[in-house]
Structure 1
Amino acid sequence: MRNVKLLWGIIVLLTGVGLVLFRIAITEPHASVPDPSASSGEESRIVAKIGDKVITSEMVRQKVYSKYGLEVLNQMVDHLAIQLEADDRGLRVEEKEIAAELTRMQQGYGSEEQFYQSMKEQVGMTREELHEDVYFKLLVEKAATSDIVVGENEISDYIKQNPEEFADTEQLHLQFILNETLEQANRTYQLATAGGDFATLARERSLDINTASEGGDLGWIEENDPFVSPNILKTAKELTVGEIGQPVQTESGYAVVKLLDRKEDKKSDPEAIRESVRKQLALQKAPAIKDYILALRDKWKASLIGADSEFGASPTPSPSPASGQ
């Protein structure tokens, strides 16, 4: 689902870019995190030149350290507070739980590799870094809800009241070309059905700036995706794999759609569904995660020693790319 991918990318970009730049700085060869009080004459590599001016790796590290150091420090304190609380309560996160959450996050991407490649390209986050982020997200959720009781009747009532969340659905892998007029769309349809390469036609003729460069690929979308034109979905459902539909009108123009593939999206077994609902309802009853982490900082007596002068610190829990907090 392209919109899901875009929203996810924005969330990760906004919350992760500072951490990425900081990692770059502290992993620079032959260097460590700079001490702001260190001598400016310290040996440093030249990484850029312009005119008679130079920029050194030490200058970059100092800039990144002062701008993003507090964000990284806050995240490290948060993680330690969460881990201390989890250890005290005997809470653990299993690898299978992390795998399941990562799979959920990959919805809307064509494949697992595409998801990780996208995360790497957008913010430079590796598999290991995403794994760590998901670990702490799940761990703090367990800690925050460990004392909250959700009754079996509550779970059953929620499932009955929200059947659409648990119904099996079909996923469609689509390409499309958007034209301004019906005449243009009819011409696109003629070229495509006459043997023209659909991806090439999309690059040459599509007005959709988000997909044209990718050959019109919409990725995998759910059959009832609210972000996709109902006319496109209706046409796609009636196509066989590899078939191209006649032009349909959308809010943005006229679209020619090709069905690349389809698959059934089966929901989890009843026990897994109930457990998922239990967690969802427990989180609704729990305090906001940010407030909970602040409470953990207080409980475990966290302090940012000297951070006021170094960064202009504030004791704010760090956001999690995985949770969108």
Structure 2
Amino acid sequence: MKRYEVLKVVVILQAVCMIALTGMVLAKVWPQSDKEENEQTEKLDPPPHQGDGVEDQGGADKWNNAKHGDQIVATVNGKPITRAQLSDELYKQYGNNVLRQMMVRLAIDLEVDASNIVLSQEELERELALLAEGYGSEDLYFAAMKDQLGMSKAQVMGEMRYRILMEKIAISNISISDSDVEEYMEAHPEQFDPKLQLHLLWIVTDTQAQAESLLEKLADGEDFAQLARDYSQDEFTADDGGDLGMIDADDPFYNDVMLKIANEMSIAEIEGPIALDEGFAIIQLAGRQTNSGPTGVHLYNAVRKKLALEQAKPLRELEDELLERYGAAILK
């Protein structure tokens, strides 16, 4: 996997950390009501112990301790780490960032209501389609987010919704004329040409000899995806059978020789070894498609949005303004 893909994963992972830690911050800053706590306890209560009274009491004590954060989640040479210690450390490291994110989201909701900003289902679907382009389908995109980052479909859609709303707030007072849009499109025609995308699978090896040995196995009828799982040195794709997904045929972050070879291949054809910076690759072309992107009014709106965002305030500055506008305060 190349640099931009790693960067994308890191950025998304940071967002996931914020989501995952939100529950912890809520527990620290806004404790549950007695009723909610009792209901939660009832769900977690263990089955009655069948031993004698002393053992029963010990088990109850351990369970009561666990309810108050003393549950041991790990040990090192017999020394315990409790859930409370873990929660405290996570709170110290990430609590302020998560709390700010929660406050910003509340401020966004308030601003959306006050400004009558509308986010349609059609807009969400178009944005989702763009995000899922490189994965083959929306279902595969959601599966990738779940498998790689632990994000549920609801979490993915929630992140996307707040990002779009923030963009709408940022550009709400910025006017971009049709002539501005047309001028930009005329100056950058290459951005609107149809793009060829290739669906590639690969196996990365350390040496050419290893690649040639795997080519022999493939010639004998062994499965490409299984060989990728067993032998590929690319840890980001090996578990997925070497699947790179849909990538642009001229993607600057992939080896240009490899892409040129792939562009001339037939579906299901296998080629290699191809020399890479990190070793040698065997590739299989699983499919190709031409992505024309938005057209008509959707294209104009996409360009208009791009130009407006270039003129918008920095995100952090806009967040600060929203928090101040709605009297945000940290009470801790």
Q: Shorter-chain TM-score category? A: 0.7 to 0.9
Verify: 1:9 aligned to 2:9, yes or no. Answer: yes
Give the secondary structure class of the aligned counterpart of 1:248. strand
Deviation at 1:279, TM superposition (A): 0.3
More helix by share: 2
Q: Compared with structure 1, are the counterparts of its residues 46 and 299 closer, same or farther at alpha carbon in structure 2 (3 Å cutoff)?
A: closer
Flag structure 2 segments of 5+ consecutive residues without an equivalent.
35-63
Partner AA of 1:271 in structure 2: V
Distance 1:33 1:122 in 2: 35
Cα RMSD of the aligned pairs, angstroms, is 3.2
Q: Compared with structure 1, are the counterparts of its residues 3 and 261 closer, same or farther at alpha carbon in structure 2 (3 Å cutoff)?
A: farther
Deviation at 1:189, TM superposition (A): 2.8
What does residue 315 of structure 1 align with? none
Deviation at 1:212, TM superposition (A): 3.6
Aligned length: 299
**Where in structure 2 are the equivalents of 1:98-177 lying within 5 Å?**
98-177=124-203
Q: Does the CA-based 8 Å contact 1:4-1:108 persist in structure 2?
A: no
Structure having the higher Rg: 2
Deviation at 1:294, TM superposition (A): 1.0
Identity of aligned residues (%): 30
Partner AA of 1:174 in structure 2: L
Bigger RCO of structures 1 and 2 (CA < 8 A, at least 6 apart): 1
Partner AA of 1:251 in structure 2: D
Distance 1:60 1:182 in 2: 46
Task: Specify which of 111, 129, 135 is matched with residue 85 of structure 1.
Answer: 111
Partner AA of 2:253 in structure 1: F
Distance 1:58 1:260 in 2: 49
Give the secondary structure class of the aligned counterpart of 1:221. strand
Partner AA of 1:11 in structure 2: V
Distance 2:204 2:86 in 1: 44
Q: Deviations over 1:238-270 (max 9, x none)?
A: 111111124333333443221112222221112
Q: Does the CA-based 8 Å contact 2:207-2:279 persist in structure 1?
A: yes
Flag structure 1 segments of 5+ consecutive residues without an equivalent.
35-39, 311-325
Distance 2:24 2:263 in 1: 46
Q: Compared with structure 1, are the counterparts of its residues 75 and 209 closer, same or farther at alpha carbon in structure 2 (3 Å cutoff)?
A: closer
What does residue 313 of structure 1 align with? none
Verify: 1:261 aligned to 2:287, yes or no. Answer: yes
What does residue 308 of structure 2 align with? 282
What does residue 317 of structure 1 align with? none
Deviation at 1:17, TM superposition (A): 1.0
Q: Does the CA-based 8 Å contact 1:19-1:68 persist in structure 2?
A: no
What does residue 250 of structure 1 align with? 276
If the length of structure 1 is used for normalisation, what is the TM-score?
Answer: 0.78
What does residue 72 of structure 2 align with? 48
Distance 1:52 1:205 in 2: 37
